[in-house]
Homo-oligomer: A and B are copies of this chain.
C-alpha cells in the first residue's frame, strides 16, 4: 500500500494504525488513461488514494493556457484541498490507467473520533501537499528556465524514491514535454531547448518518458534545492506534550498507537 509506505516515511505508524489505514483503503476503483478523476466545479464527498498509476492536477484558463499544479504519484491523496469545497477548484486527470481507493469524507471524520491520533497524522500529511505548492511557487515565480527544470526533476526524484519508484538517479515519468512545461510555467519549445542545454552539459537526459540525472550534485547546486518538506513531520511527542486542561487520560491520548481492537 503506497500510501502507508509514503506516510511511514514522514511519521511513525504502529502496526495497529497501519491496519486501520489499510482497512480505509479497501475499496477499489479503476480510471482509464486520460479520464478525469476530479472535474473542476463539481462537488465530491470523498477523497481518493492513488494506489497505482499517475495523474496531474490541472487548471485551465479562458485563453487556453494551462497550469499543471502538481503531479500525483502512487500513495498520494487526491482530494486535498480540492474536494473540501463545495466546488472543485481544479481538475485531476489520469495520465495512465490508474487504480484508486475512494475515502469518504465521513470516514475521515469518523477516524477523527475513533482514532484521533491517527487522524491527526493523516491531516498532518496534508501539510506535505501544501509545502509542495509553496516550493512550486518560488520555483515558478523567481527562477530561470534551467533552474526550474532542475528543481522539478529533483522533486520528482525524491518523491519517487520515497515510494520506491526511482533508483539512485533516474526514473520513469509519464509526462509529455508539453505537460512538464505547463507544470513549470514555460512554453513547450523553450522547455525543449532548455533540456537540450542540460543534455549538452551532461547534467541530465530525458528520453522516452525516462529522466536520467547524470550529475546529481551539479543539478542540485544549479537548483538550489532545499527539500525541507521531505523531512519528517513534526507532531508533538507524548513525553513533551502539555495540555492546559489536564485531561486525566492524557497519556493514553498521546500513546503512539491509539488503536485498541487490534
Residues of A within 8 A of B (CB): 41, 43-45, 57, 59, 61-62, 65-67, 69, 80-90, 104-110, 112-114, 116-117, 119-120, 123-124, 126-131, 133-138, 140-143, 182, 184-185, 224, 226, 228-229, 231-236, 240-245, 247, 253-254
Contact = CB atoms under 8 A, between A and B. Distances in A.
Given A81-B128, A112-B117, A130-B126, A135 B89 contact: yes
Nearest to A228: B89
A253 B109 contact: yes
A134 B104 contact: no
A72 to B, nearest CB: 13
Given A85-B233, A112-B120, 6 more contacts: A59-B134, A67-B142, A85-B231, A85-B234, A137-B137, A141-B185
How many copies make up the complex? 2
A137 B136 contact: yes
Contact of A109 (B104, B140, B241): B241
A84 B234 contact: yes
B137 A140 contact: yes
Q: Top 8 nearest A-B pairs by Cβ distance?
A: A81-B127, A141-B185, A133-B133, A84-B127, A67-B138, A112-B116, A81-B130, A113-B116
Contact of A89 (B83, B84, B224, B229): B229
Contacts of A235: 84, 105, 109
